[in-house]
Amino acid sequence: DRITHTHTSHRMPVSRVAVLGIAALLASQADAFSPLSAFSGVSLRSGLGSSLARKQCPVAAARVAPLRMTATGLDAEAATDGGPFLDDAPKYISKAEAKALAEELKSEDGGFSTEQLVEMAGHSVADAIFEAYPPSTLMGAKVLVICGKGLNGAEGLTAARHLHHYGYSVAVVYPEKKRDSEGQLLQPNAGLEKQVRNLGVSVYMSNPGFLDQIGLVVDAAHGVSFEGERPKAPWDVIFKQLIDPTVLGTKPLVSVDMPSGWDADAGMPEQPVPDPEDEAPPAPIPVLYPDTLISLGAPKMGVSKYQGAHYLGLRTIPLSAKDKYGLNTPSFAGARTYTRLSDLTTEQVARLEASVAAEEAKSAPAAAAPAAAAAAAAAAAVPQAAV
């Protein structure tokens, strides 16, 4: 009734009881969920006049401590780490504080280089995605990583490289690039683009033509640097495609640090109100509302009301900075590069069940393989998204 799974240099027991316990707990909480809100990844496109904004159906996910997958296998810490308690809400910092914190980390006293911070941030993004959307649940569909020209885009390129190594099929959209006065591409993005290209990852100037093959979208376009009310070209077209249910709007969306189009302080912009006297009503603002958000360093004030799955990456903030900015972010258990700022949602639990069942199918005796495969198929049958 127990199996083993290789985790680096040792073997770790994995009990089916843990999976059954998750199912029992969710069943006991069934009355707390509406038919739609039972699935965290359900993305609803709300009217609000002519708004095109992605809307996340709020969930009251049960508190669980499941067997979690990491990029290096089943997490040995999972049995005791249930994630942060939600009543210990972390501090949300302003855009000015985020900028000051980054400069402090890169100062002589901080000791970090920009390249180091980008690498650690992108690595943590990839690890969090591995937990939230294990490769086996995408059924071979591609991960589309959309990268801007700034550091948020650099973090996206880094995450794309790690996701490739983790077994995902990755494609990158990289429409803008920073150049110096002589036209040379600036670092770190130039080197990061070469790294993903050298792995055989295709890099596109706009959304590729195989959108029907995309299973997950990663938004690393702007982060905290977005300014203004509306995205400018080419992002206006790209964002419209991301929220259009006939293009990419039904695909799960992960945003890095801040959803693109949101202000780091004020949050998601309000849609313009049509004036009855205007002959042509104002065009709606294409706004992204991700299914999963991965904040970096500390969550920003602009996402304080965000209701989807929320992770925190960039495990590098020193104690002095935590004291200076009053940060009370939860601890990072074991060797993990990320932590959760929200409870696991029911769709994540279903994905984890599918991952554990898949591991059982690989490790169990041949006679038990059909039962494990059936359990994996049942868990993977949870709807990914609905319009």
Using alpha carbons, select from 66, 75, 128, 382 the residue that is nearest to residue 257: 128
Confirm whether 37 is domain-assigned: no
Residue 80: how many other CB atoms lie within 10 Å: 9
Q: Rounded mean pLDDT of 359-375? A: 61
Confirm whether 224 is domain-assigned: yes
- Using the predicted structure, report yes or no on whether residue 8 has a pLDDT greater than 90: no
CATH number at residue 213: 3.40.50.10260
Confirm whether 8 is domain-assigned: no
Q: Which domain holds residue 164?
A: 111-268+284-314+335-341
Confirm whether 356 is domain-assigned: no
Confirm whether 144 is domain-assigned: yes
**Model confidence over 227-265: pLDDT tens digits?**
777 888 889 899 998 888 888 878 999 999 999 989 999
Confirm whether 80 is domain-assigned: no
- Using the predicted structure, report yes or no on whether residue 380 has a pLDDT greater than 90: no
- Using the predicted structure, report yes or no on whether residue 189 has a pLDDT greater than 80: yes
Number of domains the chain is built from: 1
The better pLDDT of the pair 379, 279 is held by 279
- Using the predicted structure, report yes or no on whether residue 91 has a pLDDT greater than 60: yes
374 — pLDDT class (breaks 50, 70, 90): low
Distance between CA atoms of residues 294 and 290, nearest Å: 10
Q: Rounded mean pLDDT of 315-334? A: 89
Q: Are 289 and 259 in contact (CB under 8 A)?
A: yes
Q: Rounded mean pLDDT of 270-289? A: 81
82 phi and psi, to 5 degrees? -95, 10
Confirm whether 325 is domain-assigned: no
Strand 73-74 and strand 253-256: the pairing is unpaired
Distance between CA atoms of residues 168 and 163, nearest Å: 6
Report field, pTM of the whole predicted structure over 0.85: no
Confirm whether 190 is domain-assigned: yes
The better pLDDT of the pair 381, 48 is held by 381
pLDDT for res 275: 75
Q: Rounded mean pLDDT of 329-349? A: 83
Using alpha carbons, select from 94, 9, 54 the residue that is nearest to residue 245: 54
Number of H helices, E strands in the chain: 9, 14
Residue 248: how many other CB atoms lie within 10 Å: 20
